[in-house]
Amino acid sequence: MPAMQPKGSIIGRDLPAMDEFEANAFLDDFAVSDDPDKPITAGVFRLEAGQSMTYTYEYHEMKLVIDGQFNIADDTGQTVTAVRGDLFYFPEGSTITFSTDDYGMGYFVGQRGVGEA
C-alpha cells in the first residue's frame, strides 16, 4: 500500500442533507481510513440558519470551524460562539446543540467508520 493516498479535492462538492434532522444541516464523509479496528473519517459539516440541531456523539470527534460561525452548547450548560479557526474536541457521549445566525461550516475528523452515526 502506498504511504500517501490522495482523496481528491473537497472544493465545490455538494453536501447531502442530513434528513434525520429538521435543521438545515448538511454533511459528507470525504475520506475514511483503512483501519477496521480504529477507523478515522474526515469530512465537512454545514449548518444554515433556522432550527438548531442536537447531536449525541457515539465516537470521538474533532471539528475545525472553516467558515461562518456556530453557536455551540453542551449538555453541561457551557456555550460558545465558534468562528473560523476555532477547534473543538467532542468526546464520545457528548450531547451538543449547534445553531447559527447565518451559516457555519466545519471540517471534522471522527473516530468512526464511513456512514456510522
Quick check: 106 and 70 in contact, CB under 8 A?
yes
Containing domain of residue 88, as a range?
36-110
The residues that bridge with 29 in the sheet, in sequence order, are 43
The confidence score (pLDDT) of residue 105 equals 95
Residue 12, domain member (yes or no): no
Residue 81, domain member (yes or no): yes
Furthest-apart CA atoms within the chain: distance in Å: 46
Residues found in the chain: 117
The count of domains in the chain is 1
The confidence score (pLDDT) of residue 91 equals 96
The confidence score (pLDDT) of residue 60 equals 95
The domain that holds 101 is classified in CATH as 2.60.120.10
What sign has the CA pseudo-torsion 104, 15, 88, 6? negative
The confidence score (pLDDT) of residue 6 equals 75
The confidence score (pLDDT) of residue 16 equals 81
Residue 97, domain member (yes or no): yes
pLDDT averaged over consecutive 10-residue blocks of the chain (117 residues)? Answer: 75 82 88 89 94 95 97 96 98 97 96 75
Residue 27, domain member (yes or no): no
Residue 93 falls in which region: left (phi positive, over 0), alpha (psi -120 to 50) or beta: left
The confidence score (pLDDT) of residue 56 equals 96
Terminal Cα-to-Cα distance of the chain (whole angstroms) = 28
